[in-house]
Amino acid sequence: MSIISLITGWPGPSGFGSASTAEEVSEGIDAANLTAIVTGGASGIGLETVRVLAMRKVHVIIGARNLEAANKAKHQLLEQNPAAKLDVLKLDLSSIKSTTEFAHNFLALNLPLNILINNAGVMFCPFQLSEDGIELQFATNHLGHFLLTNLLLEKMKSTAKSTGIEGRIVNLSSIAHVHTFGDGIRFNKINDKNGYSDKRAYGQSKLANILHVKELTRRFKEEGVNITANAVHPGLIMTPLMRHSMLLMRLLQAFSFFIWKNVPQGAATTCYVALHPSLKGVSGKYFLDCNEKRASSYARDETLAKRLWDFSKNLINSSYKV
């Protein structure tokens, strides 16, 4: 997508563009037989994603760290759409224990799982470690979603097999994935405060989101699994995610107002990739403004994707003490 398309909102090959909203890209889709999990679904574009999926009759489970806020959001959505099927479960993706408990609690509901939207995240945090001793942006944005996805994969596989309906995994990445550390991922310095940059650490975690779907896709094809995995950049949207750099973002917005999106536009690419029938069988791709976009060279590196997968598994195993 060119800067002209971004500014004007002109549609790309998909028929949609930067000005498209989540409602517009999912118009006419009846998803009454689908169940989805949306992490971070209590605010921002996550909440809009939940609202639109519920509008399309998807049964949505909201994974949220703040249960009070999530339940309040659920009740507001039910006031707007009394027929919506919504549930809330506690989920703190920075915690291996919480992520594991969420997966177990979801599986105990004995529901199918067609769509997993890994939406939640933190952005531009000062250096800090999670309760498991892992740098917070990497722990929350990548590792938590990596673990959650792995814990739910068998459920997604069995759902796809029993229903014949393609499963879809959507990772929210960012164009910020191009602004990372020198080797893409600081494997030997993930938790090192020396040389830490909040912006590059964020970019690293967003690069990891794309590499994650690349390796998932390779494994799905190898196994012949009827599930796809794709990454999306939602665009520049002023949401609570930017709380660590709100002043900087507002200054940036003042000088680049023409490329910023509102929340309904910000949720469009997520809903498009999660629901649109034109993407059946499409996997391992990176989407911007509802159109496929070429990601960075690091993001296309299959060897790096495989290394990240193994590193992530080992990091979880070595960090989590039962």
Residues with a known catalytic role: 196
Supply the DSSP string of 39-83, one letter for each residue. ETTTSHHHHHHHHHHHHTT-EEEEEES-HHHHHHHHHHHHHH-TT
Separation CA 52–CA 174 (nearest Å): 21
Closest residue by Cα to residue 177 from 137, 135, 209: 209
208: left (phi over 0), alpha (psi -120 to 50) or beta: alpha
Q: How far is CA 140 from CA 91, 133, 136, in A?
A: 11, 12, 6
Bridge pairing between strands 115-118 and 85-90 = unpaired
| Token representation of residue 148 | 């959650």
- Interhelix angle 302-319/198-223, nearest 10 degrees: 100
Name, in order, each residue with C-beta under 8 angstroms of 36's C-beta and a sequence gap of 6 or more: 53, 58, 59, 60, 61, 113, 114, 115, 116, 117, 274
| Token representation of residue 294 | 């070429």
Q: Which residues pair with 259 in a beta bridge?
A: none
- Interior CA angle at 105 toward 85 and 202, to 5°? 85
DSSP state of 229: E
